[in-house]
Amino acid sequence: MDFDDTPDEAAYRARVRDLLAEHAADLVHLDAGEEAADARQQEQALRRTQRVLADAGLVGVAWAAEHGGQAGTLAQQAIVGQELARARVPSLINHIGLGMCGPTVVAHGTPEQHERYLARLLRADDVWCQLFSEPASGSDLAALRTTAVRDGEDWVVNGQKVWTTLAHVADFGVLLTRTDPDRPKHGGLTMFVVDMHAPGVTVRPLRQMGGQSDFNEVFFDDVRIPDSERLGEPGEGWRVALTTLLNERVAVGGGGNDLGLSVESLARLAREAVPALPAERQVLARQAVGRAAVAALANRYTGYRRLTAISQGGLPGPEASAGKLAGTAAAKLVSDAGVRLLGDDAVFAVGPGDDGREGGAGRWQRNQAWLPGIAIAGGTDEVLRNIIGERVLGLPPEPREDKHRPFNAAGSTR
């Protein structure tokens, strides 16, 4: 593919820049000074930012018009992402809903669910989360133990989820449960849309080493979910979950995105920091920046090729696992090089106004602390390598003694 903008794409990019300039006063920016002291105020500001962008036609660009989108191309969606980064607008608060939950509802939801949820999701009137991992079933997701038992027109849910991004601000989530323990572990699962404000739902934020609480543990105690909120047929939850997971791997690095600070940010920092280093360290610094730049740009352009294939009618496939694996590795190289270039300043929260330090307030340091979690999200590196080996390269699968046993049989779970 040609990585330069076509004339139509260049015109679209100019239009996006004009729209961002027109609405700049209503958007949150990374370099706007101190973050809101009150977490609720910050949340509302981020919701407002996504609402303004949605009303301007810059959210859901590649979504079908019938689902509230702009019926645009994935190339246009990538352009919007690039221009948002250029304008220093932070990640959209509903990125989980846009990248994972929304596509799942589109693919497996009923027309009533489409009408009820999708437009509000695009505008961040409702923020979404993905309720998959559990204390004993993360990499082995199909071994989950959260149960949903049919009771008339409702399902009663009990169990626990963990590492759930944005659960503390979410209004709805996609919830994977076990509904038939007599079937093999992949066959007895069912997916639902759950109201995160329903009685019996308890969310407890988890403090991360960077000081933030993006992840949460979520408890379900006799939570009633109407059958009308089911996604797909009972027992078909694994097929529905694969839609979420494949879209997640495209969203988390598999689409060529930079996962935080871009290689251009690193180049700006290097132009300031490298000349100030002793001569012998300048060589090492340039090598580190070069390795990071090569990895990041290779992942970015490979991601564009993947988006092109999807835009021509393809579906997100196991190849996205390779993109996610490469994306997290490249992001780590960029972030580590940036923190090292800060030198002694790396132990401080560098203030706004230092252009080379890209927004200040310890942004490089926070990004470095955040990346280990992203390396786990959407599948650990080990799981992704298994997927690539088995489903892309055609290598023999590893033995799975419990794959065909009933879930409740002795020894069926690890």
**Amino acid in position 391:** R
How many angstroms separate the Cα of 2 from the Cα of each of 13, 32, 75, 116, 397? 16, 35, 11, 39, 37
Give the Cα separation of 98 and 118 in Å (integer).
9
Residue 282: left if φ>0, alpha if ψ -120 to 50, beta else—which one? alpha
Which one from 217, 248, 319, 358 is the annotated catalytic residue? 248
Which two three-digit tokens encode residue 263? Answer: 């290689």
By three-state DSSP, how is residue 357 classified?
helix
User: Half-sphere exposure (CA, 13 Å, Cβ side) for 43?
Assistant: 14
Which residue, 315, 306, 310, is CA-closest to 257?
Answer: 306
Q: Supply the angle between the helices 263-273 and 279-311 in degrees, to the nearest 10.
A: 170
- Please say whether the beta carbons of 356 and 388 come within 8 A: no
Give counts: helices (H), strands (E), the chain. 12, 8
User: End-to-end CA distance of the chain, in Å?
Assistant: 45
H helix runs in 252-318, sequence order = 263-273, 279-311
CB 63 within 8 A of CB 122: yes
Q: Look up 248 and say whether it is catalytic.
A: yes
Calculate the CA dihedral of residues 217, 169, 202, 148 and round it to 10 degrees: -80
**How many of the other CB atoms lie within 10 Å of CB of 86?**
14
With tokens 């927004």, the residue in question is: 359
Q: Which residues are catalytic?
A: 248
